[in-house]
Amino acid sequence: MKKILTILLGLSAGLISCKKEHIATSAKHEESSAQKYPVSFAVAPFDVQTGTLSLHSTAKKTSALKDNFKYLYYYVTKQSDSLHVIKTIKQKSTDEGFGRINDTLAAGKYNIFIFGAARSDVEVFTGTEDFYYPGLLLAYEGYNGHRPPNSIGDNFLKKISITVGKMTNQDVKLDRIVGKINVKITDPIPSGVSKIVVNFNSVPDVLDLYTGEEAITNSIGGETVTQTYIVKPEDVGKTGLTMGDYFWAGGLWIDLSYYDLNGNQVDQKIPTGSWLVEANKAVTFSGKLFSISTGFSVGVNSGWESETDQPFEF
């Protein structure tokens, strides 16, 4: 069942506003003379029905907010100027009052985005025709508007359209926007293997905040995310090695390889086809890497519930 965070939208006083150079903002905030209304978003511990990302059976539990993500981001745009952020708030899980966001807005119509992330280096910017199609886009600082080569972790997002001008009390739900791709090697690891490498290629690298999916860009291809497992002596003969990561919704393809003790690549395998990553779905590729007779299958877990198998060929 889909994992959901519950957010209570109420009213309280306070204003937190910041502006970063990498975010395209309006030239001015609302006129100081305009009447403003306090708005408050409170994210509290919640009950959730969920299966774990390792595809275990579903279970009900109470989860603290910091157990789901470490950073909370809040962005505001006017509906009349929907591609420019006018306010930003960032919280980390160690902050006092983590999960409560206080703001004030003048009367009007706004889009509000609340993003829960595992990383502290999230950035939002406006796409242009030079490289991106116009959009309000999310990526990571220091990677030239792309996703980093290491894990982005679990992500949650909600877009809220709100009209400010009177007392408002609204419940909002924050949804998982990543899927997870696992690769499981079913045959025994032989002696003489130093490392096993899985490349996730052409992965979604820029997120469109309005769709919650991969942004369409003018760049060719996407990023490559590499998972490397260093084989230890006690790993020889073991089966079931699993490697994986989180990805935004979009397409990708995978290659697997392993190396000898001198660091030379022994073999590389590329499962045929490009595989679609869907939000809140886990996909496990499983099969033999080292055996002469090779073959992989793919299991799809929709919402981390029951699993189905689909074979594919190299």
70 phi/psi in degrees, rounded to 5 = -100, -15
Q: How confident is the model at residue 298 (pLDDT cuts 50, 70, 90)?
A: low
Beta-sheet strands, E only, within 215-280 = 223-230, 241-248, 250-260, 265-269, 275-277
pLDDT tens-digit series, residues 151-205: 899 999 989 999 998 766 666 677 889 999 888 999 999 999 999 999 998 888 8
Region at 218 (left for phi over 0; alpha for psi -120 to 50; beta for the rest) = alpha
Q: What is the pLDDT of residue 9?
A: 40
Give the whole-angstrom CA distance, residue 141 versus residue 21: 11
Q: How confident is the model at residue 80 (pLDDT cuts 50, 70, 90)?
A: very high
pLDDT above 50: residue 59: no
256 phi/psi in degrees, rounded to 5 = -125, 145
221 phi/psi in degrees, rounded to 5 = 75, -170
Q: What is the pLDDT of residue 62?
A: 43
pLDDT above 60: residue 47: no
Give the whole-angstrom CA distance, residue 115 versus residue 207: 11
- Report the mean per-residue pLDDT for the chain: 75
Q: What is the pLDDT of residue 24?
A: 38
Q: What is the pLDDT of residue 129?
A: 63
Q: What is the pLDDT of residue 76?
A: 95
Q: Kindly report the CA angle at 250 between 63 and 225, in degrees rounded to 5? A: 80
Give the whole-angstrom CA distance, residue 231 versus residue 237: 11
pLDDT above 80: residue 23: no
Mean pLDDT along residues 13-28: 38
As given in the structure block, the two tokens for residue 273 are 């086809």
DSSP states of 130-150: TTB-SSEEEEETTTTSS--SS
65 phi/psi in degrees, rounded to 5 = -55, -40
Which range, of 34-43, 153-162, 227-236, 275-284, averages the lowest pLDDT?
34-43
Give the whole-angstrom CA distance, residue 72 versus residue 16: 14
Mean pLDDT along residues 97-123: 90
Which range, of 79-83, 88-92, 223-227, 288-292, averages the lowest pLDDT?
288-292
Provide the H-helix boundaries in 172-301.
none
pLDDT above 90: residue 26: no
Percent of the residues in the chain that have a pLDDT greater than 70, as a whole number:
68
Interacting residues of 310 by C-beta distance below 8 A, sequence separation 6+: 297, 298, 299, 300
CA distances from 155 to 60, 118, 278 (A): 20, 7, 13
DSSP states of 51-104: --TT-PPPEEEEE-GGGT-SEEEEEEEETTEEEEEEEEEEEETTSTTTTEEEEE
pLDDT above 90: residue 38: no
pLDDT tens-digit series, residues 241-259: 999 999 988 888 899 999 9
Longest dimension (CA), the chain: 75
Q: What is the pLDDT of residue 241?
A: 95
